[in-house]
């Protein structure tokens, strides 16, 4: 479990320390302030530690550099350093609950693909993180992984990694009960369950009247299918990591409510969850769910990125009411005022 993320000169993000929750972490803010950057950074660092076969300094330096380049797709690694005149140095540190899993890296403006490991993890992570982008990925199964591995494609490697996770076999055994419980609201929303053709690896929505090819299913339901599949494979159970960029994209309010409840349920199972959003509807839904008696003990942390006189600032708290720079709330209230004025004309 990640306890802290410390940043210095990383892209647009402000320097300083992010104190993270063991349960649900929500990052909000306007477009262009770095919400997605922080999610991708967490994913890249965790993924290196989950996949590492060699924890030597030289091997980790190559692995961190390769992953950052593949996830962010900059022309050079130095492009991820905060834009300033002259040479700058970026430093990033993850402090883990298990100190042996902590890490720290650095690279400079002129770095092409070189990373310096300041502190290397002494042990691997037991589970690989899952990164869900704003679009669904089930329709890319199973052909995307071999295509990505054999040809140069201008796609972020998060897509390749997640499609690979979706292709894992469904979980069986004692943990299947937890899977069934988590899947119930998602399958009710979809009107069926996710099925995989063993011969082709293609995904279908299994309905009472037969199965439907995933490309024919509405995109919002395909996003729910993606989450359901990661739950059924056991990826999102017990000490895993779910990192989801704007889960509300292409979902109607009814489905956003389903997704919000599933996000909280996954966090209650012991998964550390990170989401980025600028949906006031999702934010309110999460806040109401966290107020329910069954969820009140779930650790949570709210982060807001805001533009203050041309500088990105960070607010963070365990209570949403403490966050003052919620631009989405300001805009929602302003729209309500404008609508009332328009209605009165």
State the pTM of this model.
0.92
**Spatial separation of the C-alpha atoms in residues 215 and 24, rounded to whole Å:** 31
pLDDT for res 328: 57
Domain that holds residue 201: 130-239
Same domain flag for 19 and 115: yes
Is 141 found in the same domain as 171? Answer: yes
pLDDT digits (tens, 9 = 90+) for 118-150: 999 999 998 889 999 999 999 999 999 999 999
Angle at 169 between CA 151 and CA 98, to 5 degrees: 85
Distance between CA atoms of residues 309 and 293, nearest Å: 41
Q: Within a domain: residue 265?
A: no
**pLDDT number for residue 301:** 96
In a domain, 245, yes or no: no
Q: Could you tell me if 123 and 134 lie in one domain?
A: no
Provide the pLDDT for residue 153.
Answer: 86
Query: How many Cα atoms are found within 13 Å in the side-chain-facing hemisphere of 57?
Result: 7
- Which regions in the chain score pLDDT beneath 50? none
Distance between CA atoms of residues 236 and 229, nearest Å: 10
pLDDT at residue 173 in the model:
76
Q: What is the tally of structural domains in the chain? A: 2
So what's the pLDDT on residue 215? 94
SS3 (DSSP) at 118: strand
Is 250 within a domain? Answer: no
Separation CA 87–CA 51 (nearest Å):
32
Is residue 83 in some structural domain? yes
pLDDT at 321: 82
- What does the pLDDT read at residue 323? 81
Report if residue 309 sits inside a domain.
yes
Question: Does a structural domain hold residue 343?
Answer: yes
What one-character DSSP code corresponds to residue 10? B
Secondary structure (DSSP) of 104-117: EEEEETT-SS--EE
For residues 55 and 85, membership in a common domain is answered with: yes
Question: CA–CA distance from 43 to each of 70, 145, 214, 256 (Å)?
Answer: 12, 18, 27, 23
Same domain as 218, residue 152? yes
């Amino acid at each position: 479990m990640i306890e802290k993320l410390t940043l210095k000169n990383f892209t647009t993000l402000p320097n300083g320390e992010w104190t993270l929750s063991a349960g649900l972490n929500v990052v909000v803010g306007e477009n262009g302030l770095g919400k997605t950057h922080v999610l991708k950074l967490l994913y890249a660092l965790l993924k290196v530690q989950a996949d590492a076969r060699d924890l030597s300094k030289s091997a980790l330096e190559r692995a961190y550099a390769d992953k950052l380049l593949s996830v962010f797709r900059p022309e050079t690694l130095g492009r991820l350093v905060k834009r300033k005149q002259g040479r700058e140095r970026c430093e990033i540190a993850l402090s883990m609950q298990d100190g042996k899993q902590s890490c720290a890296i650095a690279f400079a403006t002129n770095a092409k693909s070189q990373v310096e490991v300041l502190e290397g993890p002494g042990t691997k992570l037991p589970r690989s993180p899952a990164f869900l982008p704003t679009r669904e990925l089930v329709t890319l199964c199973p052909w995307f992984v071999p295509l990505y591995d054999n040809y140069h494609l201008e796609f972020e490697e998060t897509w390749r990694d997640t499609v690979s996770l979706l292709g894992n076999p469904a979980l069986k055994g004692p943990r299947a009960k937890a899977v069934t419980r988590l899947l119930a609201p998602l399958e009710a929303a979809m009107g069926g369950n996710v099925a995989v053709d063993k011969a082709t690896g293609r995904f279908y929505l299994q309905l009472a009247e037969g199965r439907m090819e995933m490309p024919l299913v509405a995109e919002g339901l395909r996003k729910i299918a993606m989450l359901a599949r990661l739950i059924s494979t056991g990826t999102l159970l017990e000490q895993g990591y779910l990192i989801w960029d704007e889960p509300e994209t292409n979902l109607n309010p009814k489905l956003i409510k389903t997704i919000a409840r599933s996000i909280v349920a996954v966090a209650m199972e012991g998964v550390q969850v990170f989401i980025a959003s600028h949906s006031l509807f999702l934010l309110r839904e999460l806040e109401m769910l966290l107020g329910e008696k069954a969820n009140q003990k779930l650790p949570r942390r709210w982060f807001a990125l805001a533009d203050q006189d041309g500088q990105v600032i960070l607010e963070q708290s365990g209570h949403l009411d403490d966050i003052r720079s919620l631009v989405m709330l300001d805009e929602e209230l302003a729209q309500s005022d404008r609508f009332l004025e328009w209605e009165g004309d």
